[in-house]
Amino acid sequence: MGLEAARARLIDCLSQEISDKRVLSTMARVPRELFVPPDSYYSAYEDMPLSIGFGQTISQPFIVALMTQALELKGDERVLELGTGSGYQAAILAELAKWVVSVERVPQLAESARQVLEKLGYANIEIHVAEKTLGWPAGAPYDAIIVTAGAPRIPNALLEQLSFGGRLVIPVGSRWEQDLLRVTRRKKRNFIESLGGCRFVPLIGEGVWEG
């Protein structure tokens, strides 16, 4: 099966569970094959995570779609992403939001993602190599935050970078298995919803998992 047919089959499959048409059309448009290693090129539209080296993965398309949909982006938001990885999720976000700040702790991945995104013409994404503090406080506040690695708890450092009314989507649990949560920041008590079980690599940093 060629890439176009595989992409169409994937989007059809995702549409059974993902209702946001903007998310689906964006995922049909962004070339996932350019964000995976050459030996995974023909697996780019399988609904599964793929290794991108350095112990990291490009997430399963369904999870990308689910997390993106949960952010409820309208087009004028400033979004923070933790875990640039291949840059694929950042590209999806850049199509749906006004500005994306993405942070990656592996310098080689940050650089390769930057090159692919620049080649594709994205001008509304800034990529940073992670520093000691979780997230990117210099760019706060954010309307939405997405974390593509699992944390042991909801980090206060990220909530503090989120606008009131903003949404944080993050996997929370053990190093091996997590619950995908959507946290809406409120002035009195934050609203937390579970989106289901998931498995992500650990989120490494201050106040979460140690490396």
pLDDT at position 207, please? 87
Q: Which residues of 112-145 are buried (b: 16+ CB within 10 A; e: fewer)?
A: bbbebbeeeebeebebbebeeebbbeeebebbbb
Whether 59 is catalytic? yes
Local structure of 141: helix, strand or coil = coil
pLDDT at position 19, please? 97
Q: CB-hemisphere CA count at 13 Å for 166?
A: 20
29 within a domain of the structure (yes/no)? yes
The pLDDT tens digits for 2-34 are 899 999 999 999 999 999 999 999 999 999 999
161 within a domain of the structure (yes/no)? yes
pLDDT at position 1, please? 66
Label residue 132 by pLDDT band (50, 70, 90).
Answer: confident
What's the mean per-residue pLDDT of the chain?
Answer: 96
Say whether pLDDT at 38 is over 90: yes
- Report the number of distinct structural domains present in the chain: 1
pTM passes above 0.85:
yes
Residues 6+ apart with CB under 8 A from 55: 201
Active-site option among 25, 59, 86, 174? 59
Rounded CA separation 140/40 (Å): 36
pLDDT at position 210, please? 86
73 within a domain of the structure (yes/no)? yes
pLDDT at position 124, please? 98
CATH code of the domain in which 61 resides? 3.40.50.150
Task: Calculate the alpha carbon distances from 119 to 112, 163, 195 in Å.
Answer: 11, 32, 34
Rounded CA separation 81/84 (Å): 7
Which residues form the domain of 146?
A: 3-198
